A = this chain, B = another copy of it.
């Protein structure tokens, strides 16, 4: 009831044995979100999917936000942390970012989860890995925490931009360019008109956007104090 779900034991020992578990509920919810998006994850649908009434879920979770927290941490757990870190802290962080991006690509609903919340055990494990990579850096721990947050935010940023342009034939994209064209045609936006007339495509950012952008973002946060111990 009080405090975060990660500090609450799943079972106190008293009373009858629960018929389900957080893990089962979380798996079902993740499957639902993978199929139909985060909005499709309603307490009722999840309950129906595990074969109980709509109210039973509240025996395992205080509210829907907690369920989402479980989901987010569960998919973060897909990240493989077995390979040991190298001696290149930046390369390790970039590799971590790639792994995180993989999670976002596999579970696009994760983009809709409000960040800042949710810091479950799997997320802490990833954080531990990031701190390990940065252990050679002689900066305050708070800065390393910020760096980790910035790394995550950057991955979200890049995944979002790559998800924003996928279907130029879609209904929304069509209305989008139509509006831009009408504004340009109305005059008063010379640079926009020129931009729309430029046929050159952007150089394919491809697979390496993380490699190109992330090091500079991290440098922006670390450069004033970067020192190798």
Q: A-side interface residues toward B, CB under 8 Å?
A: 3-4, 6-7, 112, 114-117, 119, 121, 124-125, 127-128, 131-132, 135, 140-146, 149-150, 153-154, 156-157, 160-161, 163-164, 172, 175-176, 178-180, 182-183, 189, 191-192, 194-198, 200-203, 205, 212-217, 219-221, 223-225
The residue on B at minimum CB distance from A218 is B216
Taking A149-B164, A217-B216, A220-B217 as contacts, is the C-beta distance between A192 and B124 under 8 angstroms?
yes
A203→B224 contact, CB < 8 A? yes
Number of copies: 2
A202→B140 contact, CB < 8 A? yes
Can you list 13 contacts pairing A with B, beta carbon distance less than 8 Å?
A3-B178, A4-B172, A115-B164, A131-B192, A141-B200, A142-B200, A144-B195, A145-B202, A149-B164, A156-B157, A213-B220, A216-B217, A216-B220
B217→A142 contact, CB < 8 A? no
The interface residues of chain B lying within 8 Å CB-to-CB of A121 are 183
The interface residues of chain B lying within 8 Å CB-to-CB of A160 are 115-116, 153
The residue on B at minimum CB distance from A3 is B175
The interface residues of chain B lying within 8 Å CB-to-CB of A196 are 141
Q: How far is the CB of A76 from chain B (nearest CB, A)?
A: 14
B140→A179 contact, CB < 8 A? no
Q: How far is the CB of A110 from chain B (nearest CB, A)?
A: 13
Given contacts A135-B191, A156-B157, 18 further A-B contacts (CB under 8 A): A4-B172, A4-B176, A7-B178, A7-B179, A112-B114, A119-B176, A124-B180, A124-B183, A128-B189, A131-B192, A132-B191, A142-B200, A146-B161, A153-B160, A154-B157, A212-B220, A213-B221, A216-B219
